Amino acid sequence: MLFVTAGDLTDSEFQTLQQLAALHQRTVLAFNKQDQYLPAEQPVILDRLRQRTAGILESKDVVAIAANPDAIKVRKHSEDGEVKEWMENQQPQIAPLTERLSHILETEAQQLVWATTKRQADILKAEVKEVLNGLRRDRALPIIEQYQYIAAAAAFVNPVPALDLLATGAINGQLVMDLGAVYQQKLDLDRAQKAAGTIGSLMLKLGLVELTTQTISGILKSHAVTYVAGGVAQGVSAAYLTRLAGLSLIEYFQAQDLSVEEGFNLDKLGETLKNVFQQNNRMAFLQGFVKQAAGRLVPVEPKLAEKAVS
C-alpha cells in the first residue's frame, strides 16, 4: 500500500495508517510535493514524519518524492542585454520510492503473498459470517415473537408492578437457550437462566424497565383509559422487554466470532442493550408495537384495540 501525503500528517491520515498497520497491510509512506518546500524544510518534514510513524512504519518506509514537480521560471540574459524568461518542466524525483519498492519486492515477496492471502481469507470469512448471520436472524425472529407473546399473556393474566415484570419470566431462560442454539452457543438451561437474570439486571440498571412501562402506559392512556386496566399495560410492556432482550441477544451473538465464546461479556452486552433500545424506541414503532400486542391480548375488542393506538 502506497500512502501519499503532501506534508505533515493530519489526524485522520495518522488514524488511517494505524488502521492499515492493525490489518497487517505492508505500507510505504511517500512525502510528495517536497519541491513546494524550501530545501532546508524538506529534511525537517521528512524527519518529523518518521518520528510520528515510529512503531507503525520503519524509518526506511518513509520517503520523500516529487512525483510531478512544479515548473520553474528560467531567466536567460543575452550578451546584448536581452532577457528571456520561460517556464521549464522538472523531472519527477521518485528514485527514493522506486528503490524502496524494489528492495521490498526483492526481500519480502513471499511475505507479501502470504499477507494478501490472509486478508482475502479474512474478507471471505466476514462475508460468510454476514450471510450466516442473516440466515440465523431469519430463524431467530420468529422465536423472539413467540416468547414475547408468551410473556405478554403471563403478565396480562397476572398483572404485577412494573419493576417485577422481569421476575414473571418476561426475560425467559428458555428464550436465551433457544437463541443460543440458533447461533451455536452451547448454553444449558442453568447458564441460560443465569444469562436471563443478567439481562434483566442490566435492564433494571439501565432504567429500561421503568422507561418502557411509562412510555407504553402513556400511549395507552392517551387513547383509551380502559386499556390500562386488566394488565394490558403490563402485558405489552413484558412483550416489549422480551423483544428487546431477544434482539439484544441476536446482536450480541452476531458480534461474536464463529467459534464459541464462553460466558457473557457484561460490558458488551450492556452496550448492546442500550443500542437496541435506542433503535427500537421510536414513537412510530412503539405505537405500532402497542397496537399489535394489545390486539393479541384483547382479541374480543378489536375495535377498541384499533382505537387505542390510532
Confidence of residue 17 (pLDDT cuts 50, 70, 90): very high
How many residues does this entry show for the chain? Answer: 310
Contact between 295 and 302 under an 8 Å Cβ cutoff? The reply is: yes
Q: How many domains does the chain have?
A: 2
CA distance 59 to 221: 69
Query: Are 88 and 125 part of one and the same domain?
Result: no
CA distance 263 to 234: 31
Cell of 212: 418502557
Query: Are 78 and 225 part of one and the same domain?
Result: no
Q: Is 77 a domain residue?
A: yes
Classified as helix, coil or strand, 38 is coil
Neighbours of 40 (CB within 10 A): 7
Neighbours of 25 (CB within 10 A): 14
Neighbours of 8 (CB within 10 A): 13
> pLDDT value at position 263?
62
Q: Among 31-45, 102-116, 214-228, 284-298, where is mean pLDDT lowest?
A: 214-228
Expressed as residue numbers, the domain containing 248 is 119-308
CA distance 159 to 275: 28
Q: Is 19 a domain residue?
A: yes
CA distance 18 to 27: 11
Q: Is 143 a domain residue?
A: yes
User: For the stretch 279-289, what's the b/e string if a residue is b when 16 or more beta carbons lie within 10 angstroms of its beta carbon?
Assistant: eeeeeeebbeb
Query: Cell 494478501, residue?
Result: 116
Query: Are 52 and 193 part of one and the same domain?
Result: no
Query: Are 304 and 234 part of one and the same domain?
Result: yes
pLDDT at 101 over 60: yes
**Average model confidence (pLDDT) across the chain:** 83
Q: Is 219 a domain residue?
A: yes
Q: Give pTM, 2 decimals.
A: 0.64
CA distance 201 to 270: 10
Query: Are 227 and 168 part of one and the same domain?
Result: yes
Neighbours of 14 (CB within 10 A): 15
CA distance 236 to 239: 5
> pLDDT value at position 223?
60
Segment of 41-45, 201-205, 222-226 carrying the highest mean pLDDT: 41-45
Query: Are 201 and 283 part of one and the same domain?
Result: yes
Which residue did the predictor score with more confidence, 307 or 158?
A: 158
